[in-house]
Amino acid sequence: MKAECSKVLLIYTGGTIGMISSPDEKSLKPFDFKQITEEVPEINKIKCKIDAVSLKKPVDSSNITPKIWERIGDFLYSKYDDYDGFVVLHGTDTMAYTASAFSFMFENLNKPIIFTGSQLPIGMVRTDGKENLITAIEIAADKVNGESVVQEVAIYFEYQLYRANRTTKISSDHFEAYKSFNYSILAEAGININYNHNAFLKPSGDKLIYKKGFRASISTIVFYPGIQLKNVKFLLKNTDTKIIILITYGSGNLPIDEQLIKAIKKYINKGNICLNLSQCLAGKVEQFKYETGKQLLDAGVVGIKDMTMEAVFAKSMWLLHKYPNNNDRFVEELLVNKAGEICE
């Protein structure tokens, strides 16, 4: 008996991949993704049924907000039972933030949500968009014994599939735009798509749970040699945000300064949360490793282990919405692995 082919839904949210040249060849404009096969006829050869939809007003990825995450999430959730997999086309600048947010919004996935995009518009001769799109669709449609091969939120870009909340954009010039520094790739596309099955996330329950809602009450302080600590102390004293993320050196270190530590303690004692995120793209925050990090641990600052910056922001906003007045629960949940974002 012939197996029924998979159904995949393409959702175009905006970004470079959806652009083609205008008739005068002087500018780029979005095209109607319902006619995607006209621009990428190779899609007709993929052995699955493909539907395509687009946001009424596609959004440049620099303009993405948590409200737009929810709009896309609501739509995808409404179609969840109708399709075997989803491909979300998104601008590259904030794709890792959106994909990370989706990894927390959709719990117990039993089918793939694959984000992809391109560095060059799909209407250009040298575009990377066609390969990214075609392979993302193939991965979204891929099943073994009636079960989706990938059952999580992922990013596909330039022959590699990454866990969404482990991925960071590293280049605006190269086709290899993304990298997962602290976790292995999920798949690599060559002549065949070679899956790293041992790296896959599996659902912890049978029923999909959709949890939206974000509260973006977050500020950041980036440390650098020569920073005026009086300005840092002023921000800590006068900000009205619930969370301040200290973007620190190495494994989570800051200059030793008694007044700075006092200012951090006062900020935390007012009912706020202070997180420690390293400037390093690889490795993890270990506040107990050096004296400069231990002072933060003693002050009540929370090290975020090996999460990416994008995952920390998305998860923090998601948890702030859930626990706006329960700091202990927020911290507990932040440090618990929810969707493969932390190595345990």
Return the number of other C-beta atoms located less than 10 Å from residue 203's C-beta: 15
Query: What is the C-alpha separation between 218 and 320, in angstroms, rounded?
Result: 10
Helix axes 258-269, 229-238, angle to 10 degrees: 10
Angle 86-90-93 from CA coordinates, rounded to 5°? 145
**In this structure, are residues 17 and 123 in contact, taking their beta carbons and an 8 Å threshold?**
no
- Please confirm, yes or no, whether 16 is among the known catalytic residues: yes
1, burial (CB in 10 Å: exposed 0-12, middle 13-18, buried 19+): exposed
Structural contact between residues 93 and 171, judged by C-beta atoms closer than 8 angstroms:
no
Q: Which of 16, 127, 135, 292 is catalytic?
A: 16
What sign has the CA pseudo-torsion 155, 160, 162, 166?
negative
Note whether 247 and 279 are within 8 A (CB).
yes
Q: How remote is the C-alpha of 39 from its chain's centroid? A: 27
Q: Mind telling me the catalytic residues?
A: 16
